[in-house]
Chain A
Amino acid sequence: MSSKKVIYSEVENSGIGYYGLLALFGLFLLGGVIAFFTMEHNGHYITGMNNQTVWGLPHIFAIFLIVAASGALNIGSIGTVFGKKIYQPLGRLSGLIAIALLIGGLVVLLLDLGRVDHVIQMATGHLNFKSIFAWNMILYSGFLGLVGLYLWAMMSRSRLAKKLYRSMGVSAFTWRLILTTGTGSIFGFLVARQAFDAAILAPLFIVLSFSLGLATFLIILMAAYRWTQREVGDAILNRLRYLLAVFILGVLLLEVTRHLTNLYATEHHGVEAFILGGGNLYSNLFWYGYILFGTLAPLALIFCRLLKNSRAALLLAAILTALGGFALLYVIVIGGQAYPLVLFPNAEISSTYFDGVITAYKPGMWEWLLGLAGVALVLIIITVAVKVLRFMPLSLADSVVDPHAK
């Protein structure tokens, strides 16, 4: 378990700031509720989604949150599974953020369904186990259960909890690896589309979860400690800073490999030229959004000597990493759909139904409202939870988390 000096406590500030924050998140949540009922009542025609781009902005939000959820748990896992003591005080917050992110992502995914009322039938046995979606339902619920138990093992004073602490941590960590494999496989299993159908999408999503999860965790950690006037030391922040750099580089490695292998296969030249070739939204999102601002800029902020120990630089790096990951998901998921299906290779195809052409997708207001409501729900869960339970160490100062710090 974590160092004996670490004292956890509920957030005590309950002034205008706290309730103002909740009200702000609540407003976004309300927007999502209105969006859901409007979409449910009218049908999806009021959104920008269509029969060419069937998965739109809500799916990017949902995938981002789900992928980040499993990544946020890593902080706890590094402490529990890999025995790094300095990470252990962050375990509780890591588990909480993981659960909140997953719930937020799932809610967005569910509320975008055409017939959400039919989902209940899955509980009555309508499950197709050949579908990775069906498996994901089980993986997501299992994740919530296991991380719940892991949190209990960290927070309970009972002897049983202490005994089960490590095994719970290992189970949750193993489960999260399988979960992100499942999320990546949603696209890896799509044989029909040029942009997907690649086994590398599963490990790519795993590493992406590392970077997005850590970036999200850092943003929440820094904001929460600043707003509650609690101290975070450089020791812990610098650990997370360089860990973020490793994860960013990991994503870059797999993403570059994905494109290089695609470029080797003639059948993928078309879609690669579309994504990498420039002159369209997806190319811009890839080169400027993901590569420049989502990868190179945060790396520069992390490794620039002048910015050593700079918290603003770290926070900006985390925000850019998250936004870059969002852009990458947009390029993979929506760019992959914008590129037409290849019915006949080496032929020009046309029809009155958008065959052979790049299709346009412009997210509408309802999609934004629904997606942002998912983020708001995550933040509400965290904001309320840290007030009622002891998730946050009173101090993460160097002297508390790292006894060997100078």
Chain B
Amino acid sequence: MSKSSNIDAYRRKFLLGVAGTATAVTVAPGLLLRQAGAKAPSEEISDKNRWGMLIDVDRLPNGGQGVVDACKKEHGWGDEAHSNDQQKAHWVRTVHVKEKLTEHEFDLPVMCQHCETAPCADVCPTGASFRREDGVVLVDKHICIGCRYCMMACPYKARSLVHEALFDQKAHSPRGKGTVESCTMCVHRIDVGRLPACVEASNGAIIFGDLNDKNSEISQALKARGGKQIRADLGLNTGVRYQGI
């Protein structure tokens, strides 16, 4: 082999090495995070992703009360000082269901189901209720007028009006008197590649991930065992699915 061809081979190897390292550096966090089910911090919010959750109610102890507590702690709702029980905010609650004929019973946590065609976003006069491109349904509190039409429209009673002034709020989860709020799927976490608080507290009973990615854990689990929607008859194609209901 001539000297020049040796140098060429060396260069090729070097370039391949650089390219390989660069690819690994770029792709690896994505792969690792994908396994965790979350998004890379640098990744843009786009309709490439559709974030969703699969809740296995049989594996959730105490009807998912731990999940409710984790959400409460993360976002600070539910301890409004002046509001009565009917007025207090509830981003997620556990519901007990008993089928009348079969007497089959189960508990499940119910929160915003992050519908693909969200009735709340449809009826909102200002567009404050909106669905992010990645499927997360949110309220822009700066333009919410507090008309509560979205609360009338939501089939899941997932939304709350803040009935009083709030103090000492969590910086990552701003809330406001006179505006409507609901589960944000912890966007402040998922946008930096972390899992929603409820998922972390669920001991694996809730899988979070990208419903658009056929290889994600959530898609695989749904493909294998299916997942039901609450009020599937409404055709809302919810981002939150359940097993065991």
| Chain A interface residues (CB < 8 Å from chain B) | 42-45, 49-55, 113-116, 118-119, 121-122, 126-128, 130-134, 137, 186, 189-193, 337, 341-344, 346-355, 359
Contacts and interface: CB of A to CB of B under 8 A. Distances in A.
Nearest to B93: A353
7 contacts: A42-B165, A44-B87, A116-B145, A121-B143, A128-B126, A134-B126, A342-B231
A132 B123 contact: yes
Contacts of B85: 354
A192 B143 CA distance: 24
Contacts of B119: 190-192
A190 B160 contact: no
Which of A118, A343, A354 is most buried by chain B, counting CB atoms within 10 A of its CB? A118
Given A114-B144, A114-B180, A192-B154, A45 B234 contact: no
A347 B100 contact: yes
B82 interface: yes
Contacts of A55: 148, 152
Contacts of A349: 95-97
Nearest to B176: A115
Contacts of A337: 152
A13 to B, nearest CB: 42
B152 A45 contact: no
Contacts of B231: 192, 342-343
B38 to A, nearest CB: 29
Q: Across chains A and B, which 7 residue pairs bring their CB atoms closest together, nearest first?
A: A114-B146, A114-B178, A192-B155, A133-B125, A50-B86, A45-B163, A43-B164
A359 B86 contact: yes
Contact of A346 (B96, B99, B148, B151): B99
Nearest to B231: A343
A343 B94 CA distance: 13
Given A43-B164, A44-B161, A350-B96, A115 B145 contact: yes
Which of B88, B89, B142, B155 is most buried by chain A, counting CB atoms within 10 A of its CB? B155
Contacts of A131: 122-125, 149
A365 to B, nearest CB: 16
Interface residues of B, number: 60
B241 to A, nearest CB: 15
Contacts of A127: 125-127
B225 interface: no
Interface of B: 80, 82-90, 93-101, 110, 119, 121-128, 142-149, 151-157, 159-165, 176-180, 230-231, 234, 245
Contact of A52 (B86, B127, B128, B155): B86
Given A43-B178, A44-B163, A350-B95, A51 B110 contact: no
Given A43-B178, A51-B161, A347-B98, A128 B124 contact: yes
Which of B80, B152, B153 is most buried by chain A, counting CB atoms within 10 A of its CB? B152
Given A346-B101, A350-B96, A118 B126 contact: yes
B79 to A, nearest CB: 13
Contacts of A344: 97, 99, 230, 245
Contacts of A342: 231
Which of B89, B95, B110, B144 is most buried by chain A, counting CB atoms within 10 A of its CB? B95
A45 B126 contact: no
B163 to A, nearest CB: 4
B78 to A, nearest CB: 10
A44 B178 contact: yes
Contact of A130 (B83, B122, B144, B163): B122
Contacts of B90: 51, 353
Which of A49, A51, A350 is most buried by chain B, counting CB atoms within 10 A of its CB? A51
A351 B93 contact: yes
Given A44-B161, A113-B145, A115-B145, A126 B97 contact: no
Nearest to B166: A43
A341 B97 CA distance: 13
Contacts of B154: 192
A54 B148 contact: yes
Contacts of B82: 42-43, 45
